[in-house]
Chains A and B, each alone.
Chain A
Amino acid sequence: MLELFAPYSVSEVLVFLLKGLGMTLFIATISIILSFLFGSVLGIARYLGKGMGARLAAIYIDSVRNIPLLLFILSFRLLLPSVILGIRIPDKAVFSGIVAMTVFTSAMVAEILRGGLNGIPQGQWEAAASQGFSRYKTLRYIILPQALRKILVPMLGQFVTCLKDTSFLQVVGISELMMNTTIIMGKFKYSYQVIVLYALTALIYYGANIAVLTIAKRIRF
């Protein structure tokens, strides 16, 4: 049993995989937060549906949603500068990975939020206007709070997607869970070691996703 993962010990392998999971969670969390901020702006711009802003948001959302994430990951790795505004990026691979994930996920978040906003009856705008609310105040105090409540569960679903999608980052050499699995796999001699390792990695992803989905199911308003 102790030689299961020779030349490594079982605990070494577990620690290495969990470090990978740490990186996966880190990138997914930062990306979903940034995507929420950026995606909200896009989604609201498209929802309000007037002028240049709405049109630009629509073009952004429709193009990004129809291009594979992998293309963003590969191109940002090569096209992003390593110095931005005079600041040297400490870990360019991770930085470009987060940017690629954020660019991609923002478009998804924007559509989720727009769906939530569209679900609020138009009559509420009129009711608020009749009570003297400005358009900004109606959106800020009446429409948005309801829409945000509606999109909480789909947003957690998007977080799961984000978690799964970080596995693409292996192509740019970020040491997330999938990358670390591949590194260990290269050192193994026997087939059963590879099979057990793979089952373990799949189980870690599965457990992380189910944990997030369980939280999503618990949330009720």
Chain B
Amino acid sequence: MFKLWMWERLFTDFSIFLAGFGMTLVVSLLALVLTLLISLAGGLVRCSHARIAKNLLWLYMSLFQNTPLVVQIFFFYYVLPRMGVVLSPFSVGYLGLALYTGAFGIAVVEASILAIPKQQSEAAMSQGFSYLQTMSHVIIPQAMKIALPSLTNQAVNLIKNSSVLAMIAGGDLMYRTDSWASETAVYGPTFLITGLLYLSICLPLSRLVKTLESKVR
């Protein structure tokens, strides 16, 4: 299974894997930025008094947390065009990943904001801070410190989940791996190298989660 010629072949075509790896990184990074925006905005709304917006967000979170990512990605890729919205696999990738991860991210941010004692915002308001000032200067900086480990953990999940792009021919690392392996019948070394490539980004991030967690405590 692990013969020398397989490795030679693999390293001759290694640029294919690097291109896929680059795609995985770009999609993940774009999705991550979007996820953070969704989580922060959503978390703030969830902690506000806007009842209708809160309920709508609850519906979004419930739906996106409790259906598989594959269903959502396929919906964006196969069903939306039937409604007249055509998206490229790349757009489906980062939008789908952001919407899925954002549904979990909002819950994280919401819980972190609620973990800050109420007296803090009362104290800030009594000093003449407006609601927005209280949030941006007092509550959010502290809440973010609490949220950071879980959000980083979500980032690891997001990078792993970006492999779902392979199912819609998204050109990411998993897609390149699968198509190259079935083309050349070089399985063992290919899967090993791909696993190591994913590890090289996810493992440092997971370590960071542990460090951040110990800091919060």
Report which A residues bind B (CB closer than 8 A). 62-63, 65-71, 74-75, 78-79, 160, 163-168, 170-171, 178, 182, 185, 191, 194-195, 198, 201-202, 205-206, 209-210, 213
Query: Nearest chain-B residue to A182 (Cβ)?
Result: B74
List B contacts of A66 (CB < 8 A). 156, 160, 198-199, 202-203, 206
**Chain B interface main SS type:** helix
Q: List 8 A-B contacts (CB under 8 A).
A: A69-B160, A71-B174, A163-B68, A164-B66, A170-B70, A170-B167, A194-B79, A201-B71
Q: Is B22 an interface residue (CB 8 A)?
A: no
Interface segment out of the listed B49-57, B91-99, B188-196: B188-196
State the 7 A-B residue pairs at the shortest beta-carbon distance, nearest first: A66-B202, A191-B82, A68-B163, A167-B68, A167-B70, A75-B191, A164-B68
Q: How far, in whole Å, are A74 and B108 apart by their CA atoms in the complex?
A: 32
Q: Which of A71, A164, A168, A194 has the most CB of B within 10 A?
A: A71
Contact (A68, B198) CB under 8 Å given A75-B191, A79-B191, A191-B83: yes
Give min CB distance, B174 to chain A, whole Å: 6
Q: Which residues of B contact A (CB under 8 A)?
A: 1, 63, 66-71, 74-75, 78-79, 82-83, 156, 160-164, 166-167, 174, 177-178, 181, 187-188, 191, 194-195, 198-199, 202-203, 206
A67 to B202, Cβ gap below 8 A?
A: yes
When C-beta atoms are compared, the residue in chain B nearest to A188 turns out to be B82
Q: How far is the CB of B176 from chain A (nearest CB, A)?
A: 12
CA distance A46 to B27 in the complex (A): 34
The answer to whether B71 touches A68, judged by C-beta atoms less than 8 angstroms apart, is: no
How many A-B contacts at CB < 8 Å in the complex?
A: 106
Is there an interface contact between A74 and B67, defined as CB atoms closer than 8 Å? no
* Chain B residues near A163 (CB-CB < 8 A): 68
CA distance A201 to B79 in the complex (A): 13
8 Å CB contact of A71 from B69, B198, B203:
B198
User: A164: which B residues are within 8 A, CB to CB?
Assistant: 66-69
Q: Is the interface of A mostly helix, strand, loop or mixed?
A: helix
In the complex the two chains form, is B70's CB within 8 Å of A74's CB? Answer: no
> Of the candidates A71, A167, A195, which one forms a contact with B71 in the assembled complex, judged by CB atoms under 8 Å apart?
A167
Are A202 and B82 touching (Cβ within 8 A)? no
When A70-B164, A198-B75 are in contact, do A178 and B68 touch as well, CB less than 8 Å? Answer: yes
Structural contact, B167 and A171, CB atoms closer than 8 A: yes
* A170–B74 CA distance with the chains assembled, in angstroms: 12
Chain A residues near B78: list those with CB within 8 A: 185, 194, 198
- A198 and B79 CA atoms in complex are apart in Å by 8
Which among A68, A167, A185, A195 has the highest number of chain B CB atoms within 10 Å? Answer: A68
Q: How far is the CA of A126 from the CA of B166 in the complex (A)?
A: 52
Shortest A192–chain B CB gap in Å is 8
> In whole angstroms, how far apart are the Cα atoms of A75 and B67 in the complex?
25
Taking a contact as CB atoms under 8 Å apart, the answer to whether A206 and B161 are in contact is no
| A68/B174 contact (C-beta < 8 A), A164-B69, A191-B82, A202-B71 known | yes
Given contacts A160-B66, A195-B82, contact A62 B206 (CB under 8 A): yes
Report the minimal beta-carbon distance from A2 to chain B, rounded to whole angstroms: 22
CA distance A200 to B78 in the complex (A): 15
A191-B82, A194-B78 known; A70 and B68 CB under 8 Å?
no
